[in-house]
Amino acid sequence: MNETFQSTASGAASGGPLLELEGVQKSFGAVRALRSGTLRVDAGSIHALVGENGAGKSTLVKIVAGVYRRDAGAVRFQGGDVDFRSTAESKAAGIAVIYQEPTLFPDLSVTENIFMGRQPVRSGRRIDRRAMVAEAESLFARLGVRLDPRRPARGLSIADQQLIEIAKAISLDASLLVMDEPTAALSGVEVERLFAVARSLRDEGRGLVFVSHRFDEIFALCDTVTVMRDGDYVSTEAIKDTTVDALVAKMVGREVGELFPKTPAVVGDVVLDVRGLESAGVFHDISFSVRAGEIVALAGLVGAGRSEIARAVFGVDTYDAGTVTLLGKRVAPHRPRAAIRAGMAFVPEDRRKQGLVTEESVARNIATVIRRGLARGGVLTTAAETRASGPWAARLEVKTSALDMQATTMSGGNQQKVVIAKWLATNPRLLIIDEPTRGIDVGTKAEVHRLLSDLAGQGIAILMISSELPEVLGMADRVLVVCEGRITGDITRADATPESVMRAATDRSGATTDAHEVVTA
Amino acid sequence: MTDVLERPHAASTPARVVAGLVRSREIAVLSVLVLLVVATTLKNHPFLLSSTGWRDLLLTPSLLLVLAVGQTVVIITRNVDLSVGSVLGLSAYFAGRLFIDHPGLPVPVVFAACMLFGAALGLVNGVLVAWGKVPALVITLGTLYIYRGVFLTWAGSNRINASDLPAGFLKLGTQQVLSIPVLTIIAAAVLAVVGYVLHTARSGRELYAIGSDPEAADLYGLKVGRRVIAAFVVSGALAGLAGVIYDARYGTVSSGAGANMELQAVGAAVIGGVAIFGGSGTVWGAAIGGFLLVTINRALPVVGISDFWQQAVVGALILAAIVLDRVLARRQDRRLVAARDS
């Protein structure tokens, strides 16, 4: 009896719906990032939003914030329909958002960063700097932050920047506060302070949305939780009615399909051997090896440090300690050219920016890496490029009527094949591929996967980074799970399940003490 | 728990101001300027210590000063306005035509008309940059030639001569108040107003924010497009003003008026510590930079340095300013990281 009374009381403490989303859709080109975004946040409550990478959480947050405009569906805020066309509009309506990546002005002072656009003014609309600094100091006192409010934002750690973002959002005095993974870079004490502030905001009757991968924090802080998967709404329930296992099952619950034509390949000798790789604040004590014919997946959450590890192995980024050995020979750090010569190939995450010269022809793109070998007397002719790239394009079935077509006019899948072709022309022994099928439609995805499988069959060692769990489970012979800069799981194909990988990816034991050093991507 | 906020650098306000001054770029450039004037005067006393020497020292930079202030407003937003030289020329001719075609028009009306005219040309630049999403370098390079072309077509073989201009207007070019030339006072007033707005108005601070990180400015909900357009309008209006000053100072306008002035304006801003990638720098610095640039050009012949070396010295000055910026920025980065970790 008493219990029933209490639960009714706590139910009454939270007000009516503050924010409601129904069937919100958003596509970027051919990719449907959000199919049925549905969310209901009550005033006076903290609502968790969970899902795998690519589940559509950040897209949903950005629609609420006015960064993106929805394609379809309804958004209601404080009872009225809204369609924010800009962040200014959502801000004016009373919504504050802390984005995943801090967005500060490095040249301006910490104080100006907090109050930009709404600085306190004196007569004559002069900015009252003294009042502004005083307000910043009282905000920092509330958050327990020790920062000189007058110093420029340049040079601050990610954690400090995130704290400034939080101070900024709180100072907006908004009725809805959305936090997209605010704790990723914070230490335990800072997280506690943030939570105390979040609870006091809730008790003032405001609504909060908390996007996070950390189940311990979700269960400690939130009242309700909404699960999303592949851009779809899955469920909403009270935190006290659910468990970590139930949430994980909902996040991943899906068949690992026949989309992934992985054929078993003969696994040969060790091709890549990484020992004790260390980069302060990014990753720690990374050791693993990849054998010929083996596909090893680096799995983990966005920002866990997977891409950074791959970039360090290839020599794009430098590292503080450790060794990278390819075919028994040390590869010098921070020397991509040496890595290519040693037999490495690297297909980066953002192929438009990093992998392709999009304005150039397909032939030239394929020939870029091997151009030195093609040149005759220092002169590189288009004919030579076309001759050299033809077989590769044919082999990868790049669907382009002619090799002189501009790369930018092709679909994402074909672009990706061009990038892979470019690297295969160097005869690599190790292929590092970051997000092989990001932004590629489902049909072409399978082709890229078949290609990777074929390459492994030919004895190439493949290190694949993927945020898509089905891809990881479908393609990899072995899954290395990275969490907050450490390898927290080495799972064989037989043992790899959505649950085991997600469990390792959110495992913070052993990483907690270093949590504040981890840099989000 | 005592949650007293400790300030890592609990320096008193005056101490902070003094420390800021010592480190400031403006003071550094000003010191070079003072040294230059002193050295040149020691070599050739009339350079400063004569009534014309004193007047020319203050008067000659006024034109570039106005342009450099406008250029700085644009550069702070991570843009550049290369059309200001052409706008200056067009406006100078426009002012001349006004005096010829409408005799008796009050001088302040001509000033206002030319500033409006320049503002309109700046508006074209701003709209193309903000809405066309094309880099300002390309847009204003285009309008540099277009405006110059309009000028050449409009003026034809005509030129404005001193005899076309009213005597009262020409007097402005030589008049002094308390031994300070009027044109210099106008330039100083422009500098003071723009400097004040950039430092203390929300709109001014937003220009810095936009230049510091345009994407973050979007996420903040700042009206980026509108502010960038406003910056170009200010730059255009000041180039228009500079056109009238040109008339008052030189009395004649030929088709070459204002040519290459845009590069001097950019040079002045860079020497004065305005970051070419936006977000930092002051109009005070740019003004001192402009002063230094003009004065060096006048001082070097006095001390007997050949034409070739005069150009080279200006170039070296710009390079030195950029190198100094990099060195100081790196030192400051280290200091800021150290301050964080302490």
A positions 158-177 inside 8 Å of B (CB)? 160
Helix (H, G, I), strand (E, B) or coil at A320: coil
Residue of B nearest to A98 (CA): B219
DSSP H/E element including A200: helix A188-203
B positions 195-224 inside 8 Å of A (CB)? 200-202, 205-206, 208-209, 211-213, 215-223
* pLDDT tens-digit series, residues A317-376: 888 889 999 998 998 888 888 888 888 988 887 665 556 665 666 666 666 666 656 655
More confident residue, B85 or A117: B85
- Torsional sign, CA A260, A261, A267, A273: negative
Q: How many CB atoms lie within 10 A of CB A388?
A: 17
- Closest partner CB to A86 (pick from B7, B205, B221): B221
pLDDT for position B139: 93
Residue type, B286: A
Chain A residues inside the 8 Å CB shell of B202:
117-119, 121, 125, 127
pLDDT for residue B115 is more than 90:
yes
- Indicate which CATH number applies to the domain containing B178: 1.10.3470
pLDDT for residue A511 is more than 70:
no
For residue B15, being part of any structural domain is answered with: no
- A127–B213 CB contact, under 8 Å: no
**How far is C-alpha B179 from the chain's CA centre?**
24
pLDDT for position A396: 63
Residue type, B8: P
Residues in chain A: 521
For residue B125, being part of any structural domain is answered with: yes
Interchain CB contacts (distance < 8 Å): A and B: 100
Does A121 contact chain B (CB < 8 Å)? Answer: yes
- Closest partner CB to B336 (pick from A112, A141, A152): A152
Distance CA A497, CA A473 (A): 7
For residue B14, being part of any structural domain is answered with: no
Distance CA B283, CA B69 (A): 5
Q: How many CB atoms lie within 10 A of CB A379?
A: 8
Exposure string of B145-171, with b = 16+ CB inside 10 Å and e = fewer, is eebbebbeeebeeeebeeebbeeebbe
* Number of domains comprising chain B: 1
| Distant-in-sequence, close-in-space partners of A251: CB < 8 Å, separation ≥ 6 | A50, A51, A52, A55, A227, A229, A234, A502
| Distant-in-sequence, close-in-space partners of B173: CB < 8 Å, separation ≥ 6 | B59, B183, B248, B249, B250, B251
For residue B119, being part of any structural domain is answered with: yes
- Closest partner CB to B340 (pick from A140, A144, A157): A157
Distance CA B87, CA A362 (A): 44
pLDDT for position A436: 84
For residue B19, being part of any structural domain is answered with: no
pLDDT for residue A411 is more than 70:
no
Q: What is the mean pLDDT of residues A250-263?
A: 62
Chain B residues inside the 8 Å CB shell of A146:
5-6, 8
Helix (H, G, I), strand (E, B) or coil at A29: coil
| Distant-in-sequence, close-in-space partners of B254: CB < 8 Å, separation ≥ 6 | B159
Has this prediction a pTM greater than 0.80?
Answer: no
* pLDDT tens-digit series, residues B10-66: 445 666 666 665 567 788 888 888 988 888 888 888 888 888 888 888 888 999 999
- B336–A155 CB contact, under 8 Å: yes
pLDDT for position A10: 38
Distance CA B63, CA B327 (A): 31
Domain that holds residue B337: 2-8+24-341
Q: Give the strand order in the sheet containing A224-229.
A: A80-81, A72-77, A17-28, A31-42, A232-238, A224-229, A45-50, A207-211, A176-180, A95-98
Distance CA A19, CA A78 (A): 6
For residue B18, being part of any structural domain is answered with: no
Query: Taking every pair of C-alpha atoms in chain A, what is the biggest distance, in angstroms?
Result: 91
Does A189 contact chain B (CB < 8 Å)? Answer: no
More confident residue, B254 or B189: B189
- Chosen for mutation from A115, A130, A154, A517 (greatest number of chain B CBs closer than 10 Å) is A154
- Chosen for mutation from A105, A126, A189 (greatest number of chain B CBs closer than 10 Å) is A105
What average pLDDT is seen over chain A?
80
pLDDT for position B68: 95
Chain A residues inside the 8 Å CB shell of B7:
148
pLDDT for position A392: 65
- Chosen for mutation from B336, B337, B341, B342 (greatest number of chain A CBs closer than 10 Å) is B336
- A88–B205 CB contact, under 8 Å: no
Does B227 contact chain A (CB < 8 Å)? Answer: no
Residue of B nearest to A106 (CA): B212
- B340–A156 CB contact, under 8 Å: yes
Pairing of strands A295-300, A461-465: parallel
Chain B residues inside the 8 Å CB shell of A147:
8
- Indicate if ipTM > 0.85: no
Strand partners of residue A75: A21
